[in-house]
Amino acid sequence: DKTHKIAVIAGDGIGTEVVPEGLRALEAAARRFDIRLEFEHFEFGSCDYYLEHGKMLPDDWFETLSGFDAIFYGAVGWPEKVPDHISLWGSLLQFRRHFDQYINLRPCRLMPGIKSPLADREPGDIDFYVVRENTEGEYSSIGGKIFEGTERETVMQETVMTRTGVDRVLKYAFELAQSRPRRKLTSATKSNGISITMPYWDERVKAMAGKYPDVSVDQFHIDILTANFVLHPDWFDVVVASNLFGDILSDLGPACTGTIGVAPSANINPEGKFPSLFEPVHGSAPDIAGKGIANPIGQIWCGAMMLEHLGYQEAGEAMVSAIERVLADDDKSALTPDLKGQGTTQSLGEKIAAAI
Amino acid sequence: DKTHKIAVIAGDGIGTEVVPEGLRALEAAARRFDIRLEFEHFEFGSCDYYLEHGKMLPDDWFETLSGFDAIFYGAVGWPEKVPDHISLWGSLLQFRRHFDQYINLRPCRLMPGIKSPLADREPGDIDFYVVRENTEGEYSSIGGKIFEGTERETVMQETVMTRTGVDRVLKYAFELAQSRPRRKLTSATKSNGISITMPYWDERVKAMAGKYPDVSVDQFHIDILTANFVLHPDWFDVVVASNLFGDILSDLGPACTGTIGVAPSANINPEGKFPSLFEPVHGSAPDIAGKGIANPIGQIWCGAMMLEHLGYQEAGEAMVSAIERVLADDDKSALTPDLKGQGTTQSLGEKIAAAI
Ligand SMILES: CC(C)[C@H](C(=O)O)[C@@H](O)C(=O)O
Ligand SMILES: CC(C)[C@H](C(=O)O)[C@@H](O)C(=O)O
C-alpha cells in the first residue's frame, strides 16, 4: 500500500478549471479502491510562469519532478502570450524527452451521449488505441537552413529512427494487443514514399511480429490509413505509429468518435524509471477559458489512465464507466454546454465523482 | 485549334479496364466541344513491362514522352508481381520529378448518389481542393543507415524544402483560391512539432499571403487539420500542403466524401514546359481486376481535369456534370456494383459518354 506521489501542473487556460475536477474524481476513486495518492501542485509549465520568469520551467525541474510517480497536467500553451514553439518545446516536449516517455497512448472510443461525425456508428463499434512513438522520428531538432534570404534558400530537417526507439514502442504495442480480446495490431507506414526511414520501420515490425505469433498484424500507408479511420474505424484494435504519424492518428481517431474535446493522452515511461505524464488533448482553449464551462471529462479520463498506469486497472475502468454512465443518463442538466447541457465544469465533475 | 497529343498508359490491373472508358468520355467531350485530341498508347510503366524488361520504363522514356501535351495514366503497381518501391519509384515518381509536375491537385467533392461516411452532409456541403507539393519535402531520397545490424542501428532521412519549391506551390494555391468564389486558403503545417522545416513553410505562406490580399488565409497543424476534415469539411476551399501532408489530406478528403474509389489526381507542371499526368487515385485494385466491374468514374474525372489543364474549362465541367447526372439518375442499372448497380465498367462508361 504504497503512497503514490502525483505532481499536479494545471498549466494554462482551462487547464486550471478542469484539473480540480480531475482531482475530485481521482479522490473518489482512491477512496473507493483504497489507493493512496498524494498531490503536490506546481506553478511552472505555464505561459504565466514564462512571462514572470522568462522560462517555462525552473532550472531544477528535472530533480524536482523525478521524485514523483506521475505528472497530472492540465494544458499548456497560449499563443497570444507565448509562441507555441517556446511554451510546448519548453515544457511538454522536455518532459517527454528527459523522462523518456517514449509511449504516447490514446484511446479512441465511441461513447454514449457523444455525437460522432460518422454516420451509422454506435457505442461499441469503435474502440481502439493509438500507440505513438513519442521521443524520436520526425520530431528531431537536427537540421538547418542554407543560402538564407536568397532565391536558393534551402531548409533541411532530419528524421531519425533508432533500433532501440522503434523496437521498444513496437514491443509495447504488441503487448497491448496481446492483452486485448481481438489481438490485432495495425502498423502505420509510408514505405512507398518515404523510402529510407519507413522501410526500416516495416522491417522492425516484421521482426517483432515473429515474437508475437498470437497477434495478427497488418499495415497501411498513412494516406489510406487516415481514410480507413473514417471509412472502417471498426477494423482497428491497436494502431502503432511513428511520432508524426501517431500525432496525426491520435487526433483523427478521437475526431471520428466525436471525442476530441474529451480525449486523454498518456505519455508513458513503461519501466517506471521516470514519471509518466497524463494530459487531456484539448489544450488550453483560450476562447472558453475563465467561463467555468470547460468539459472536465478529458482530465478525468486522464486520471483513469494514470491509475491504470500505476497498476489499478479496476479503478481506472470504474472511472471510465462512471463517465459513460453520466453521459448516458437522461438527465442532462449537469452536463457542460458542449454536451448540450446547462451545467458547469464543476457540476459535471461532481456528478462523475458521485458516480464513481 | 491545336491538336493535343496525349500519351496513354493503361498500366496495371483495372487501369487497363477503366482507361478505355476514360477515352470514350474524352472523345465524346472532344466531339461536343470541338477539341482535337490524338492518343498514343504505351505498354511501359506497368509491372508486366517490368517483368519482361527488368525496368519500369525504357531508357528513352523522357524523350519519348516529352513531346506529349499530357499523360493519361490508368494505374501502376501490383505488389505480388513487383514491390511498390520499384514500380512506383520507377514510374510515377520519375514522371513527377523529371517532368517537374510540382503540383498534385485533387478535388474533394460530395457527389449525388455516392454515400458519404459522414453524418448529415449533402452534395454542395463539401467542395474543396487539396493542392499538394509534389517534388520535394519529406519525399527525398537523402539519408541512410549507420551501425547496421547492431543494437545501435540508426536510420536517417532528410526532409528538404527549397524557397523555389515552396513558393511555387503556394503561388499556384493562392491563384486557385483567387479563382474560386470563397477565396479561402488553408495551410497545413506542424510548426509546433516539426521545428525546422515547418516554421519555414509558415514563413513562406505569410510572405506569399501579402501578395494576395483578397485571399483569406488560415492554418492548422496537420493533426487537428485531419480532425477538421472529418468534423468541419465545409470549412475548406483550397488546402495547400507539403508533399507528405498533401498525400495524407488528398486521401482523407475524398474518403470523407465517400469518393476515394472515384477520385482523380492531377500531377501538373503549370508552365506546360513538360507534360502533366492524370491518374485516378484508386490504383490497380488486384482484387477486382479482370472482372470488368471496376468503376471508371475516377478515370473519366481525370479526363475532365486534363481538359481543364489544356485550357478547356467548359468541357471539363461538362464531363463532371455528366458524371453527376448519371449518379443522380434513378435508374441504377448501368452503375457498377460498388455503386449498388448491376452494370459493368463499360455500361457505366457508355452512359456517362452519352450524357456528355
Ligand atoms: C504511391 C505513392 C508513392 C503515392 C504518393 O505517396 O505520392 C500515392 O500515394 C499518391 O498519392 O499518388
Ligand atoms: C503540441 C504538439 C507539439 C504536440 C505534438 O505534436 O506532439 C501535440 O499535438 C500532442 O499531440 O501532444
Q: How far, in Å, from the CA of B120 to the mean position of ligand 2? A: 30
Which ligand is closest to the CA of B91, given by its number?
1
Residue A187 has pLDDT above 90, yes or no: yes
pLDDT tens by residue, B321-333: 999 999 999 999 9
**Average pLDDT score over residue span B41-57:** 97
Q: How far, in Å, from the CA of B186 to the mean position of ligand 1? A: 22
The whole-number pLDDT of residue B1 equals 73
The whole-number pLDDT of residue B138 equals 97
Closest partner CB to A251 (pick from B191, B223, B260): B223
Q: Long-range CB contacts (< 8 A, 24+ apart) of B38-43?
A: B38/B3, B38/B4, B38/B5, B38/B6, B39/B6, B39/B8, B39/B72, B40/B5, B40/B6, B40/B7, B40/B8, B40/B68, B41/B8, B41/B9, B41/B10, B42/B7, B42/B8, B42/B9
Chain A partners within 8 Å of B243 (Cβ): 193
Count Cβ–Cβ pairs < 8 Å, chain A vs chain B: 194
> Percentage of chain B surpassing pLDDT 90?
95
The whole-number pLDDT of residue B283 equals 92
Record: contact B248-A118, CB cut-off 8 A:
no
Angstrom CA distances, A91 to A11, A32, A85, A272, B15, stand at 10, 33, 10, 20, 51
Closest partner CB to A192 (pick from B85, B116, B230): B85
- Nearest chain A residue (CA) to B77: A192
Residue A300 has pLDDT above 90, yes or no: yes
Side chain identity, residue B178:
Q
Mean pLDDT of chain B: 96
pLDDT tens by residue, A36-90: 999 999 999 999 999 999 999 999 999 999 999 999 999 999 999 998 889 998 9
Q: Tell me the torsion sign for CA atoms A255, A259, A262, A268.
A: negative
Side chain identity, residue B343:
G
Q: How far, in Å, from the CA of A247 to the mean position of ligand 2? A: 7
Supply the pTM of this predicted model.
0.95
Residue in this structure with the C-alpha cell 507506414, named with its chain if needed: A189
- Domains of chain A plus CATH, in order, are 1-102+269-356 (3.40.718.10), 103-262 (3.40.718.10)
The whole-number pLDDT of residue A71 equals 98
The whole-number pLDDT of residue A141 equals 87
Q: Which residue's CA lies nearest to atom 10 of ligand 2?
A: A247
Side chain identity, residue A259:
T
The whole-number pLDDT of residue A205 equals 98
pLDDT tens by residue, A139-160: 998 999 999 999 999 999 999 9
Closest CA to B104 of B251, B232, B210: B251
**Average pLDDT score over residue span B9-30:** 98
> Percentage of chain A surpassing pLDDT 90?
95
pLDDT tens by residue, B255-285: 999 999 999 999 999 999 999 999 999 999 9
pLDDT tens by residue, B101-153: 999 999 999 999 999 999 999 988 999 999 999 999 999 989 999 999 999 99
The whole-number pLDDT of residue B251 equals 96
Residue B84 has pLDDT above 90, yes or no: no
Q: Which three cell numbers stand for residue B137?
A: 519535402
Separation CA A30–CA A41 (nearest Å): 18
Q: Which helix (H) or strand (E) holds A145?
A: strand A143-146
The whole-number pLDDT of residue B192 equals 87
Q: How many CA atoms lie within 13 A of B70 on its CB side?
A: 25
The whole-number pLDDT of residue A85 equals 80
pLDDT tens by residue, A261-294: 999 999 999 999 999 999 999 999 999 999 999 9
Nearest Cα of chain B lies from the Cα of A331 at a distance, in angstroms, of 25
The whole-number pLDDT of residue B191 equals 92
SS (HEC) of chain B? CCEEEEEEEEECCCHHHHHHHHHHHHHHHHHHHCCEEEEEEECCCCHHHHHHHCCCCCCCHHHHHHCCCEEEEEECCECCCECHHHHCCCCHHHHHHHCCCCEEEEEEECCCCCCCCECCCCCCCCEEEEEEECCCECCCCCEEEECCCCCCCEEEEEEEEEHHHHHHHHHHHHHHHHCCCCCEEEEEECCCCCCCHHHHHHHHHHHHHCCCCCCEEEEEEHHHHHHHHHHCHHHCCEEEECHHHHHHHHHHHHHHCCCCCCCEEEEECCCCCCCEEEEECCCCCCCCCCCCCCCCHHHHHHHHHHHHHCCCHHHHHHHHHHHHHHHHCCCCCCCCHHHCCCCCHHHHHHHHHHHC
pLDDT tens by residue, B206-234: 999 999 999 999 999 999 999 999 999 99
Longest dimension (CA), chain B: 66
